[in-house]
Chain A
Amino acid sequence: MSHLTSDDLRQAFAAGTEALAEHRDAINALNVFPVPDGDTGTNMLLTMRTTMEHCPTADGKTIGEVAHQLADGAFWGARGNSGVILSQFLKGFTQAFRSLEVGYGSDLARAFHEGQEAAYGAVGKPVEGTMLTVMASMASAVQSSLDRGAEEDPRILWQTAFESGKEATALTPTQLPVLREAGVVDAGGMGVVVFLGGALGYLKGQDDEELGSVVASGYLAPSSGSRPSLDADYLDLVEHSDWGYCTQFVISGESLAPEVIRADFAGMSDSAVVMGDEEKVRVHVHLLDPGTALSYGAALGQLGQIDIQNMTEQNRGFVAGHRETPKGEALAVVAVALGEGFAALFREIGCSAVVSGGQTMNPSVKEILDAVQSVGAEDTIILPNNKNVAFAAQQAAEMTPGVHVVLSDSAPQGVAALLAFNPAEPVEQNIAAMEAALLEVVSIEVTQAVRPVAINGLQVAEGDYIGLRDGDLVAADKTPKRALESVLAMADLSGDSVVTLYLGADTPQEDGEGLQQELESNIPGIQVDLVYGGQPHYHYLASVE
């Protein structure tokens, strides 16, 4: 490759944007500086998306024209600390191609140099060990490679920048103490590396850079749990700090002086980033009171694109997302259930763990205790959700202090009990509320008879579908749907009833929907909720309350 065309530049940026999209969450997770709020990847991605929207095609344009459109898009799209710095880097980067038809290696070297210079210039108080350092390192690596007489192939120089960026990012914890404390490399630096890596993949026509593992290497300590994590002491420290508000806006006016505005904001905040020209200036600043920044800006011109984020809240969400299993929870629930649908449901509505088991697959006492231990709560309530499991659950409770059982006989009863669970309340109150709640529901099961039986005046043939109400066989029919309908007919349904139908693993969704529609049209006001339970053997489980 002798030179970059306008299309090369645009496509490379587009590929870099795609790479940011793919690794956004992983980059977010590294974000501890300047505020641990986990939005670096998102901000860089959103910045790049707007950048690309401003340059939909390179057709018929010179590289200079494409560069100009990209720089313009970067200004309007800039978002968040990292996004504004990236945008400023791109502004400098693209300026190197101004008035050119195509870009040669020496132009690319100049682009990296002007990019890092513009990025440093936009930051009120530049800090080393951040994306600024990474940009500077890339620029000097590319230049010294040219100075040593390396080929002017833009693709090779791009590779040089990428490699240097990776190394510089790995070194950021040695420069910025907060990174070392948190046990991560700088998220913004990693974002730059990912962007350049994605772009490089396009230039080489192949993605041979394992960006996923590059991002994963951003954690200093090897992972112990299911995923890499931040240092626990660090999380404790930052969780209780007041981070103020991330305040962003664009001032539109006449004869604006970006460098004066930057200096003023640098006096108010450690993380002020200001860029722009005489007519429009973008301000990104972290302040305890965003009002002061807005008032300052409004005195200079019209404010637009105002965006204020509460970083203390963002930080809480970030910290919560980084904590491994919440060890030492005061109170937790463990349920026994069969079927992926039920497992997901029990987890979602408040179970810390779900043990697989039920009518035909009774879990051992040890399996239940293992689950209790993995949760690590001071008190744990077990929902056996089946009469056959009750004994093992009670054994577990007798053997271990802090383990309690709420005797739910079916999964629908267990769901009702769990909905009454409130981790903020004491354990005794929860047990009482859960026991009361499960008595409020009638629980229905539909399954297939494995042998003929005569019971409750019903003659059941092998293979017939039987309906049970609270464990008693009360209906038998030739299809599961009709068996269910028979039991429901005995349930005194009214417009106030709530029926929840849990579909079994092999039950067609249409059958459930048909039943739902029939009930809703026959009994005005009734609420029928359809949930995928995924349980084996039971075509339907249901609750009526």
Chain B
Amino acid sequence: MAIKVVTDSTADLPTDLVDRWGITVVPAYVVMDDVNYRDGVDITADEFYRRLASSPRLPTTAQPSVADFQSVYQELVGQGHSILSIHISGRLSGTFNSAEQARASLGDSADIRVVDSRLASISVGLNALTAARMASEGKTMDEIVSQLSRDLSQTSTFFMLDTLELLQKGGRIGKAQAFMGSLLNVKPILGLQDGEVVPIERQRNLRRGVGRLAEMVRGSAPLKALAIMHSTDQTMSNQLRADLSDLLPDSEIVSARLGAALGVYVGPNTVGVALVRQ
């Protein structure tokens, strides 16, 4: 009997970390060219971004179904485990909702906590890792949940997009709508606040934007956890990682790939950071 951590594919956790910490990842769905794919299972990030450029219609996404969560929960509960299920912001996706419905359907005898992280991508992943690590140390559910609630409030996500077009068409642009435009070449840096996308600032090119992202991370130090994410351009994320290598031991900095489900909204050339302050 142990505490098992469940998250969804939009947490963009690298496979080696998922395996090492025994985390269960429930895939979101990506519909591309009229075919329904499980994010990270039926379609890799590489394949997704390669096809995105030539896809005649914009791909869409759907959250995992209630049944998807039910079967994952049932299996873990059947093995005698308690479950901590942490997910992408309920304001950006219906995933939390599906998970919550699945939990409710299984009744009170199953010990399941479902958490709306109010975050997205690897910033969810970093917190799922913390939970899994604490579970492996034998911490109780209450201890883990209390640490999570503190950590979530200290987590920041900043990301720079090449274009806001996909985010807008996908209906996730929120207040970052203010940064839409095509007359001038600018790269928007966005963040997450109260579970929604918010505009932070605009830079004149990706290179300067990467520099600003590094400054933002430094401004948040000392850090407990740090992750660098990218969609297609690993050069930028490698550079960021190198720039920030003095902030944490190298083995603790996570490099994450934005998968297909979030790729539908952020598109190519996205780079970003997720951090948890000490």
A284 to chain B, nearest CB (A): 16
B171 touches A350 (CB 8 A): no
Residues of B within 8 A of A349 (CB): 181, 183-184, 186, 202
Residues of A within 8 A of B199 (CB): 422-424
A145 to chain B, nearest CB (A): 43
Tally of chain A residues near chain B (CB < 8 A): 40
B184 in complex: contacting residue of A292, A303, A310, A345, CB < 8 Å: A345
Closest chain B residue to A341, Cβ basis: B183
Q: Is the CB of B218 closer than 8 A to any CB of chain A? A: no
Bound complex: CA A419 to CA B97 (Å): 37
A424 touches B198 (CB 8 A): yes
Q: Is the CB of B165 closer than 8 A to any CB of chain A? A: no
Closest chain A residue to B35, Cβ basis: A306
Residues of A within 8 A of B63 (CB): 291
Residue with the highest number of chain A CB atoms closer than 10 Å, among B31, B34, B36, B204: B204
A292 in complex: contacting residue of B66, B175, B193, CB < 8 Å: B66
Closest chain B residue to A545, Cβ basis: B204
B58 to chain A, nearest CB (A): 11
A291 in complex: contacting residue of B34, B68, B177, B185, CB < 8 Å: B68
A529 in complex: contacting residue of B98, B181, B184, B198, CB < 8 Å: B184
Q: Is the CB of B201 closer than 8 A to any CB of chain A? A: yes
Residues of A within 8 A of B170 (CB): 313
B48 to chain A, nearest CB (A): 17
CB contact under 8 A between A529 and B34, given known A290-B62, A308-B62, A316-B171: no
Closest chain B residue to A320, Cβ basis: B177
Bound complex: CA A310 to CA B36 (Å): 16
Residues of A within 8 A of B65 (CB): 289-292, 294-295
A527 touches B172 (CB 8 A): no
Closest chain A residue to B207, Cβ basis: A496
B184 touches A500 (CB 8 A): yes
A310 touches B183 (CB 8 A): no
Bound complex: CA A316 to CA B197 (Å): 14
Q: Is the CB of A474 closer than 8 A to any CB of chain B? A: no
B95 to chain A, nearest CB (A): 11
Q: Which chain A residues in 420-456 approach chain B with CB under 8 Å?
A: 420, 422-424
Q: Which chain B residues in 189-228 approach chain A with CB under 8 Å?
A: 193, 198-202, 204-205, 207-208
Tally of chain B residues near chain A (CB < 8 A): 38
Q: Is the CB of B234 closer than 8 A to any CB of chain A? A: no
A433 to chain B, nearest CB (A): 8
Q: Which chain A residues in 227-252 approach chain B with CB under 8 Å?
A: 245
CB contact under 8 A between A527 and B184, given known A294-B65, A304-B34: no
Bound complex: CA A503 to CA B213 (Å): 32
Closest chain B residue to A495, Cβ basis: B207
Residues of B within 8 A of A348 (CB): 180-184
Residues of B within 8 A of A305 (CB): 34
Residues of A within 8 A of B180 (CB): 348
Closest chain B residue to A500, Cβ basis: B184
A289 touches B183 (CB 8 A): no
Bound complex: CA A415 to CA B183 (Å): 12
Bound complex: CA A317 to CA B177 (Å): 11
Residues of A within 8 A of B181 (CB): 348-349
Q: Is the CB of B94 closer than 8 A to any CB of chain A? A: yes
Residues of B within 8 A of A290 (CB): 62, 65
Q: Is the CB of B24 closer than 8 A to any CB of chain A? A: no
Closest chain B residue to A525, Cβ basis: B207
Residues of B within 8 A of A304 (CB): 34
CB contact under 8 A between A529 and B185, given known A291-B68, A295-B65: yes
> 1/0 contact trace for B22-42 toward A, CB 8 Å?
000000000100101000000
> 1/0 contact trace for A277-310 toward B, CB 8 Å?
0000000000011111011000000011111111
Bound complex: CA A529 to CA B207 (Å): 15
Residues of B within 8 A of A295 (CB): 65, 67
Q: Is the CB of A531 closer than 8 A to any CB of chain B? A: yes
Bound complex: CA A537 to CA B184 (Å): 22
Bound complex: CA A415 to CA B171 (Å): 28
B34 touches A306 (CB 8 A): yes
Residues of B within 8 A of A317 (CB): 171
B66 touches A306 (CB 8 A): no
Residues of A within 8 A of B62 (CB): 245, 290-291, 308
B266 to chain A, nearest CB (A): 16
Closest chain B residue to A304, Cβ basis: B34
Q: Is the CB of B178 closer than 8 A to any CB of chain A? A: yes
Q: Is the CB of A361 closer than 8 A to any CB of chain B? A: no
Q: Is the CB of A314 closer than 8 A to any CB of chain B? A: yes
A306 to chain B, nearest CB (A): 5
Residues of A within 8 A of B202 (CB): 349, 419-420
A422 touches B66 (CB 8 A): no
> 1/0 contact trace for B146-181 toward A, CB 8 Å?
000000000000000000000000111001011011
B185 in complex: contacting residue of A303, A307, A496, A527, CB < 8 Å: A527
B184 touches A291 (CB 8 A): no
CB contact under 8 A between A289 and B186, given known A313-B172, A423-B178, A424-B175: no
Residue with the highest number of chain B CB atoms closer than 10 Å, among A289, A314, A527, A531: A289
B183 touches A344 (CB 8 A): yes
Bound complex: CA A420 to CA B97 (Å): 37
Q: Is the CB of B74 closer than 8 A to any CB of chain A? A: no
A73 to chain B, nearest CB (A): 17
Q: Is the CB of B130 closer than 8 A to any CB of chain A? A: no
Q: Is the CB of B269 closer than 8 A to any CB of chain A? A: no
Residues of A within 8 A of B204 (CB): 419, 498, 527, 529, 545
Closest chain A residue to B203, Cβ basis: A419
A345 touches B183 (CB 8 A): yes
Residues of B within 8 A of A498 (CB): 204-205, 208
Residues of B within 8 A of A291 (CB): 62-68, 98
Q: Is the CB of B60 closer than 8 A to any CB of chain A? A: yes
Residues of B within 8 A of A309 (CB): 60
Bound complex: CA A290 to CA B62 (Å): 8
A310 touches B205 (CB 8 A): no
Q: Which chain B residues in 108-167 approach chain A with CB under 8 Å?
A: none
A228 to chain B, nearest CB (A): 23
Q: Is the CB of B101 closer than 8 A to any CB of chain A? A: yes
B66 touches A289 (CB 8 A): yes
Bound complex: CA A253 to CA B177 (Å): 44
Bound complex: CA A301 to CA B64 (Å): 20
Bound complex: CA A308 to CA B64 (Å): 13
Residues of B within 8 A of A500 (CB): 184
Bound complex: CA A294 to CA B68 (Å): 12
Residues of A within 8 A of B34 (CB): 304-306
Chain B interface residues (CB < 8 Å from chain A):
31, 34, 36, 60, 62-68, 94, 97-98, 101, 170-172, 175, 177-178, 180-186, 193, 198-202, 204-205, 207-208
26 A–B contacts, CB within 8 A, in A order: A290-B65, A291-B63, A291-B64, A291-B67, A291-B98, A304-B34, A305-B34, A306-B31, A306-B34, A307-B31, A310-B94, A317-B171, A348-B180, A348-B181, A349-B202, A419-B186, A419-B204, A420-B201, A422-B178, A424-B175, A498-B204, A498-B205, A500-B184, A527-B205, A529-B185, A531-B184
Q: A289-B98, A313-B170 are in contact. List 14 more A-B contacts (CB 8 A).
A: A245-B94, A289-B94, A291-B62, A306-B36, A348-B183, A349-B181, A349-B186, A349-B202, A419-B184, A422-B178, A422-B200, A424-B193, A496-B207, A527-B204
Nearest 7 CB-CB pairings of A with B: A291-B65, A313-B171, A348-B181, A498-B204, A308-B62, A529-B185, A419-B202
